[in-house]
Each structure stands twice: as C-alpha cells, then as structure tokens.
A and B are shown apart, each in its own frame.
Chain A
C-alpha cells in the first residue's frame, strides 16, 4: 500500500526557515518523480516544486523560486522541502504527491498534508 507521510510543519516567524519531510513507503521510491503542492486556508491548490527520481532535475513555482529548495534521499525514501525566508503568504497545508508515471506530471498518491503557519 502506497503511503506518503509529511512532517515538519508548525508555526514559524516571518523570515525564518523550516524543513518539511515526506516519508514514502509501499512503492519503489527511487523510480518516481515527487512533488510538493500547497493549499492556503480556504483557498485552492498551488503547485510548489518537483524533483526527478534521481534528484538531478528540479523545478519550482514562481512564488517560491529562490526561497524554497526540494531534495530527496533515496536511501531513506524521503523527499524534503527546505523553506527559507518564509512569508505570511506561505501559510498553507503542504502536501507531497507522487507523479503518476515518469513525465506524467499528474499526482496519483498524496500525503495527508502538514500545516505551516507563518506568523509573528
């Protein structure tokens, strides 16, 4: 059974950093592209970042490029999202999601999400 479990969320002051983790199980993690998607309270979905199966290719959404960094450790079946220079508008539930197949760019499995609140 595929499982994605996010952790690392919490309350953080503006300008500070936070690292989210997503632990994967139930599939061959090192053959799948992984994404982060977020959802501000009461709002729609916003794609954040993607990392290729080997970590060699990464892309970011416009609002986080230069501040957030995605990485993975295939030996630990975990994908990370390093968030620096956090802003109040980064407040959201952050989901990790698995790409349905190589190059598909759609998400067939999602974690339950972890809430990040940026507030002084």
Chain B
C-alpha cells in the first residue's frame, strides 16, 4: 500500500499569511494526488486533483504542485474561512490512502 506523510501535522498562521503543506508518498505516484479541506463536523471538500488542477468553485489562492513522491498545497493568502484540516489522498492505486492531515489554526 502507498503511505502518505503530511507535514506539518499542525500549523498556526495569521490571516494573510502564505501557507505551504507538504505530502510525501512512499513510492512514486506521478501526479495522482488530490487535496481536501475539512471543517469540524462537515464532510471533506475537494480542492485540487491530479496534483495541480483546481476543482470548480475553489478560490484561486489555493494551488497544488509536485509529482512523483513530493507534493505541496499552497494557500497564497490565508483567509478566515481557510482555518480547517487539510488532507492529501493518492489516486494512483487501490487501496486509496490519505495523509494524516494538517490542522491549520489561527495564530
């Protein structure tokens, strides 16, 4: 199975900050990676798929990059509604797997 390691697991940031979250895969997965945002008590929301394609309706301050084993999610200017937990997920092969999550909190 493909393991995904996210870092950091927790980060504290201020509104307007640039935030970067990293996801590392245990083996190469090309660009078969997605990112989700989840707020407490809610279902996750798809942000990005195939590493860098923005899902319809997602603000352009979110961007993704990477290929192979190293991926990043960047929020260019953190907004109040962005405080949430973010997960990466590999699309390469079954069983599908998620990273452990990164909780973004207000500094």
* Residues of chain A having any CB pair with chain B under 8 Å: 35, 37, 44-47, 50, 59-62, 95, 97, 100, 104-108, 110-113
Cross-chain pairs A/B with CB under 8 angstroms, 8 sampled: A44-B100, A45-B44, A61-B95, A106-B34, A106-B49, A107-B46, A110-B44, A113-B43
Most chain B CB within a 10 A radius of its CB, from A45, A106, A107:
A106
Query: Which single member of B1, B44, B49, B89 contacts A62 (CB below 8 Å)?
Result: B1
| Residue pair A47, B43 in contact (C-beta under 8 Å) | no
Task: Tell me whether A108 and B55 are in contact in the complex, defined as CB-CB below 8 angstroms, given that A44-B87, A45-B44, A62-B1 are known contacts.
Answer: yes
Provide the bound-state CA to CA distance between A98 and B34, in Å.
14
Q: How large is the interface on B (under 10, 10 to 19, 20 to 34, 35 or more residues)?
A: 20 to 34
The majority secondary structure among interface residues of chain B is: loop
Provide the bound-state CA to CA distance between A52 and B59, in Å.
31
Most chain B CB within a 10 A radius of its CB, from A62, A104, A105, A110:
A105
Q: Which residues of A contact B99 (CB under 8 A)?
A: 44
| Residue pair B98, A112 in contact (C-beta under 8 Å) | no
| Residue pair B89, A106 in contact (C-beta under 8 Å) | yes
Q: Which residues of B contact A50 (CB under 8 A)?
A: 94, 96
Query: Which single member of B49, B55, B98 contacts A44 (CB below 8 Å)?
Result: B98
Query: Which single member of A45, A97, A108, A112 contacts B87 (CB below 8 Å)?
Result: A45
Provide the bound-state CA to CA distance between A59 and B34, in Å.
19
| Residue pair B43, A110 in contact (C-beta under 8 Å) | yes
Name the residue on B nearest A57 (C-beta).
Answer: B94
Q: Chain A's nearest CB lies how many Å from the CB of B15?
A: 26
Q: Chain B's nearest CB lies how many Å from the CB of A109?
A: 8
Task: Tell me whether A59 and B94 are in contact in the complex, defined as CB-CB below 8 angstroms, given that A44-B101, A108-B55 are known contacts.
Answer: yes
